[in-house]
Structure 1
Amino acid sequence: MQFYLAPMEGLTGYVYRNAYHKYFPAADRYFTPFITNKKMSSRERNDILPEHNEGMTIIPQILTNQAEDFLSLTKELKEYGYDTVNLNLGCPSGTVVAKRRGSGLLAWPNTLDAFLDNIFSSCDCRISIKTRLGTTDTDEWEDLLAIYDKYPLEELIIHPRIQKDFYKYTPRMECYRTAYETSRHSLCYNGDIFSPADYQKLRSDFPGTEKVMLGRGVLQNPWLIGMLRGAGPENIENYANAKDSVVAHNFSSASVSAASFADKELLHAFCADLCDGYARVISGDKNVLFKLKALWIYLGTSFTNPQKYLKKIKKANRLAEYEDAVDALFREQELIF
């Protein structure tokens, strides 16, 4: 099984990826938050620079509906050594959809087909697609699958919700089954894997699925990939040795269980490292705090009784206030896994 870290705008940029990769079980592939411009901005370029992503397999994600822009970006990305990119056809944001980008393009199958024909006939890199099932109705899904089957995708990553679902409701697994049983492509599942039980259910229902993309689950529980790989005594020993220096062994191919090694000391070190990393590349406490507060929406759910601490984190206007609130949370509460 391969595990991917999902691209989450504003959350999983290179500062987060480096801190995560340093402390926790590694993903097999890390997908960057989407690139939208015909030519990369300095922020987008910083995110994909090889020197900012050492030791990781990075897949840049592109969000566009213009073949010319897609081809321009892939040419630029090849200059940095990237031969594989991902096309975002899944973002459900209203502002993105209004421009017929992301999942918004799914409502225009003829336009989508022409766009894919243009990029696959002209691009010399490998292209994967991350998609939803459609925009307003699952009746769109079979037609979309037929379009995807026309092209030589590197892989098809499926988030089994329609655009109007956003991240609500239960994933529409009957539609994933349609792709599982009929698509000619290598599939990757994405959506609502938060625990080993969720993962085992997926494996039981779809035993041929060999790739899973994780997003919110990893943000909530950074040990999740290790938990899903399973526990092994040799890996617990590896962890125990690494924990002496606080920085966890990078379990890129190991099987580990969060219950066996998760502890507050390690997670606290990760949070401090992440804060320092943002402070080095972003000016001003306010801008650094914006990044950190967004993560705590997810990470806060991993603690017992986090409410009063999260309120203080949310209200913090200076990094010193933020650090005091985080330190108190780690000192006074426990991890729930």
Structure 2
Amino acid sequence: MDYTLLSSPLQGFTDFRFRNAQHKFFGGIDTYYAPYIRLNGKLVIKPSYHRDLLPENNTAIEVIPQIITNDADEFLFVAKYVQELGYKELNWNLGCPYPMVTKSGMGSGLISNTEKINHILDRAHSETDITVSMKMRLGYESPQEIIDVMPILDKYPLKNIAIHARLGKQLYKGGVHLDAFQNCIDTTRHKLYYNGDITTVAKFKEMQERFPTIDHWMIGRALIADPFLPSMIKNNSPEHPDNKLEVLKNFHDTLYEIYSESLSGQTHILLKMYHLWEYFSTTFSNPHKVLKQIKKAQSFRNYDAAVIEIFKKG
């Protein structure tokens, strides 16, 4: 079966700079989802969101914008905005698990509110012609939440529903709930995409066998931890290339350079790189030691020296 690989949006990580660099050095991703736009009640687009979605910043890749909201007016405002930029689809995030989001009744904290979901989808489909897709978890407290909302979702011509097969309260801990995802397949008329714990080529094949009707697969945190993974899946290659560290170093150096140009202040830039190294470190034989070296580097000079040593030791 032909399949499509998708990059799941990760707030603070998968901006256009990361997306373009991943595409240039590794490839394998067919479509990238941009991190969500959040308005917080003000119908104003932040400059950082605007830069992230500008067509000239995404010329080599296919990108789908995303919104996180529990307000129909916000949804319609962002739909009009992205359409003016030339986008035809808006993805609605009902998956974010972080407490600061869910306690506000957004992300996975909204899944149980079938009335509000229905209201927003009704206005989205009656007052705009944008294509709507969904990014969801199975629920916040229970996988029954997504089953309860499926009859509402089935009323609308959604392009697809991408489901991260965890509960919101899990954050990223514990295993995925594969039986609950199968229940979603059995319950809805909509096309489903699978997201969750695709971390190796072997794991991808395992998921393909488990869900033979699924042909769209979303890779999240593993794309940062192992940016080779999509191309390895596409090439059916369980092994990394011989020049793995060389390519990864070039990728790192590119990100370091562009974030140094776009962010202000040594502390801000090094913090950005440290968060990336929380994932990059897993590539190396001693991740804990690698991350400790990066965290100790409180200046550009020390950071540069630490990176050279890390890649030299491998």
1:224–1:258 contact (8 Å) kept in structure 2: no
Amino acid at match of 1:87: W
Residues 167-210 of structure 1 deviation map (CA, whole Å, 9 limit, x = unaligned): 11111111110122232111110001101121111111111110
| Aligned-partner Cα distance in 1 for 2:124–2:17 | 31
2:54 matched residue in structure 1 = 49
The answer on 1:273 being equivalent to 2:254 is yes
Q: CA deviation at 1:294?
A: 0.8
The answer on 1:286 being equivalent to 2:291 is no
1:223–1:258 contact (8 Å) kept in structure 2: no
SS across alignment from 2:11 = coil
1:328 matched residue in structure 2 = 309
Counterpart pick for 2:82 among 64, 77, 81: 77
1:243 matched residue in structure 2 = none
2:28–2:234 contact (8 Å) kept in structure 1: no
2:218 matched residue in structure 1 = 213
1:142 matched residue in structure 2 = 147
The answer on 1:228 being equivalent to 2:233 is yes
1:248 matched residue in structure 2 = none
Q: CA deviation at 1:262?
A: 4.9
2:23 matched residue in structure 1 = 21
Query: Which range moved further: 257-266 or 7-16?
Result: 257-266
2:279 matched residue in structure 1 = 298
Q: Give the total of aligned pairs.
A: 309
The answer on 1:198 being equivalent to 2:203 is yes
1:162 matched residue in structure 2 = 167
| Aligned-partner Cα distance in 1 for 2:185–2:305 | 49
| Aligned-partner Cα distance in 1 for 2:287–2:144 | 42
Counterpart pick for 1:263 among 230, 236, 244: 244
| Aligned-partner Cα distance in 1 for 2:159–2:272 | 32
Q: CA deviation at 1:93?
A: 0.8
Q: CA deviation at 1:109?
A: 1.5
Residues 49-84 of structure 1 deviation map (CA, whole Å, 9 limit, x = unaligned): 111111110111101111111111111111111111
2:112–2:149 contact (8 Å) kept in structure 1: no
SS across alignment from 1:213 = strand
Counterpart pick for 1:59 among 56, 59, 64: 64
| Aligned-partner Cα distance in 1 for 2:186–2:302 | 53
2:187 matched residue in structure 1 = 182
Q: CA deviation at 1:307?
A: 2.8
Question: Unaligned 5+ residue runs, structure 1?
Answer: 232-255
1:118 matched residue in structure 2 = 123
1:12 matched residue in structure 2 = 14
Amino acid at match of 1:309: V
SS across alignment from 1:208 = coil
Query: Which range moved further: 133-142 or 94-103?
Result: 133-142
1:64–1:102 contact (8 Å) kept in structure 2: yes
SS across alignment from 2:44 = coil
Q: CA deviation at 1:312?
A: 1.8
The answer on 1:312 being equivalent to 2:293 is yes
| Aligned-partner Cα distance in 1 for 2:8–2:157 | 22
Q: CA deviation at 1:115?
A: 1.7
Amino acid at match of 1:60: P
Q: Taking structure 2 as the reference length, what is the TM-score of the superposition? A: 0.95
| Aligned-partner Cα distance in 1 for 2:5–2:242 | 20
| Percent identity of equivalent pairs | 36
SS across alignment from 1:259 = coil
Residues 1-45 of structure 1 deviation map (CA, whole Å, 9 limit, x = unaligned): 111111101111111111111101231111111101232100110
| Aligned-partner Cα distance in 1 for 2:241–2:137 | 35
| Aligned-partner Cα distance in 1 for 2:69–2:110 | 9
SS across alignment from 2:208 = helix
Q: CA deviation at 1:161?
A: 1.3
CA RMSD of aligned residues (A): 1.4
2:65–2:91 contact (8 Å) kept in structure 1: yes
1:159–1:189 contact (8 Å) kept in structure 2: yes
| Aligned-partner Cα distance in 2 for 1:307–1:129 | 36
Change (3 A) 1:180 1:47: same
1:223–1:257 contact (8 Å) kept in structure 2: no
| Aligned-partner Cα distance in 2 for 1:74–1:115 | 12
Q: CA deviation at 1:289?
A: 1.4
